[in-house]
Amino acid sequence: MSTTTLDTSISILGPQKIPSHLPYRTWADDNPIIPLYLDAEVSEDAPGGIVELEAAGPRRNLYFDPTRAKCAIVTCGGLCPGINDVIRAIVMEAFHAYRVPAVMGIRYGLEGFIQRCGHLPVELTPSNVSDIHRFGGTILGSSRGPQSAEEIVDSLERSNISVLFVIGGDGSMKAALSINQEIRNRGLRISVIGIPKTIDNDINFIPQSFGFDTAVCKATEAIECAHTEASGMPNGIGLVKLMGRESGFIAAQATLALKQVNFTLVPEAPFELEGETGLLPALERRLKERGHAVIVAAEGAGQHLMDRSDATDASGNRVLGDVASLLRRSINSYMKQRGIACNLKYIDPSYIIRSVPATSTDKVYCGFLGQHAVHAAMAGRTDMVVGKIQERFVHLPLELVTRRRRKLDVHSELWRAVLESTGQGMVYGMLPQE
């Protein structure tokens, strides 16, 4: 198997001349490069072959003098389970392991750097973050939308910040890339470390982002309720809309977790409503055979069946048509025309899913991400994110993770398992086209 030519080198601010005082016997320096096989499910940029990635973890020698370093944390974009866990892990590691004198929390996302917005930073200490992992959301608040990289770096300079930790999704990582470029243009020595966050699980090169396990767990609760509603009445239909603008990972994984879903609709598999292989005739057959059905739809599914809008939200994402309204209207109309009395119940658990505290699995994951982010920063790494691939924590260049959004591969084992679980393979668009 060949090694790919993908550039995975990590930028370093300068020579690491300060010996670490950490009492470890094993260091990431001992095995600094990890060879991993990456296929198209991880990223379209790594279609097959061995990719060499820098190992995450503590280094023997540091770039920053930890006792003089000052850190800042900012959380951006939509909420996701586990953000507070990452914040807590960074603060605890910075204070207790490296004895960093100050960690500042930037309020309400990138707006917090902009003086005219009036959001004052808050000092983060072990005492005031000790319990935050018990709660969902982010204690720092968040916001969407771009801000001036020049003004952000002005703020970093004024505050004498050595390290900036950016917790956010695709747009936030692109912002971190711009901030890092402005830092380079000015010849500054400020480390920028990204911790990728997205409930949709769609960040390039990150097979599973933190919070995703929690999202799937909560989604299955909604699907269970939909199944209970549907099976408790004649021709009952339970419809659940889950998050997933461009990627159907939550819908697919929740379908496999519960095994009670009959139709899973994702953005990557365009379907048709009418016709011999349409969704509506397939739903009619299901009702005749079993008397009830459950449909799970990712929010970005079915956009090809609706009028396209050029409007965008604050993050620059295209405003989506409402797939749930389309399905409810189409199903009720179709069944009424055929004299079939159906009972459709609709559940949208989106904000419940993203606002809850993280599961224990995600809490462990977030703890590792926070610790490794601090290790990387103190060793002078920059322009990078911490990620977990095949159970190994690694460093990835920001440029790689921002190239594109990761999507569900309809040729993958995951999608094949969904089709087997639901039995929906005969619906148009569900089987991958050769």
State the DSSP string of 204-265. TT-SS-BTHHHHHHHHHHHHHHHHHHHHTSTTEEEEEEE--SS--HHHHHHHHHH---SEEE
Which residue range(s) make up the domain with 276? 216-353+411-422
Q: How many CA atoms lie within 13 A of 166 on its CB side?
A: 32
In this structure, the dihedral spanned by the alpha carbons of residues 95, 361, 253 and 411, taken in order and rounded to 10 degrees, is 70
The residue type of 7 is D
Q: For residue 282, what is the domain's CATH number?
A: 3.40.50.460
Answer yes or no: is 4 within a domain. Answer: no
| Same-domain status, 187 and 220 | no
- pLDDT score recorded for residue 25: 80
> 140 phi and psi, to 5 degrees?
-90, -10
Answer yes or no: is 1 within a domain. Answer: no
| Same-domain status, 230 and 374 | no
Q: Is 202 a catalytic residue?
A: no
Q: How many structural domains does the chain have?
A: 2
- Decide: residue 319, CB within 10 A, 0-12 exposed, 13-18 middle, 19+ buried: exposed
Distance separating alpha carbons of residues 123 and 129, to the nearest angstrom: 10
**pTM metric for this prediction:** 0.94
| Same-domain status, 51 and 178 | yes
| Same-domain status, 333 and 368 | no
pLDDT one digit per residue (tens) for the chain, 434 residues? 555 578 899 999 999 999 999 998 889 999 999 999 887 777 777 667 789 999 999 999 999 999 999 999 999 999 999 999 999 999 999 999 999 999 999 999 999 999 999 999 999 999 999 999 999 999 999 998 889 999 999 999 999 999 999 999 999 999 999 999 999 999 999 999 999 999 999 999 999 999 999 999 999 999 999 999 999 999 999 999 999 999 999 999 999 998 999 999 999 999 999 998 999 999 999 999 999 999 999 999 999 999 877 776 666 677 789 999 999 999 999 999 999 999 999 999 988 999 999 999 999 999 999 999 999 999 999 999 999 999 999 999 999 999 989 999 999 999 999 999 999 988 888 887 65
Answer yes or no: is 3 within a domain. Answer: no
- pLDDT score recorded for residue 311: 76
| Same-domain status, 243 and 170 | no
Distance separating alpha carbons of residues 422 and 417, to the nearest angstrom: 9
- pLDDT score recorded for residue 3: 59
Distance separating alpha carbons of residues 381 and 371, to the nearest angstrom: 14
Contacts of 210 (CB under 8 A, 6+ apart): 80, 81, 82, 85, 86, 195, 197, 358, 362, 365, 366, 369
Distance separating alpha carbons of residues 248 and 212, to the nearest angstrom: 12
In this structure, the dihedral spanned by the alpha carbons of residues 93, 95, 98 and 100, taken in order and rounded to 10 degrees, is 130
Set 200, 202, 362, 383: catalytic member? 200
| Same-domain status, 142 and 253 | no
Distance separating alpha carbons of residues 376 and 374, to the nearest angstrom: 5
| Same-domain status, 349 and 384 | no
Q: How many helices (H) and strands (E) does the chain have?
A: 12, 17
C-beta of residue 52 within 8 angstroms of C-beta of residue 35: yes
- pLDDT score recorded for residue 44: 74
Answer yes or no: is 6 within a domain. Answer: no
| Same-domain status, 185 and 222 | no
- pLDDT score recorded for residue 434: 57
Distance separating alpha carbons of residues 108 and 140, to the nearest angstrom: 6
Tokens of 154: 């002005």
Answer yes or no: is 78 within a domain. Answer: yes
| Same-domain status, 27 and 164 | yes
- pLDDT score recorded for residue 316: 67
Distance separating alpha carbons of residues 117 and 281, to the nearest angstrom: 53
Tokens of 70: 């000052």
| Same-domain status, 77 and 195 | yes
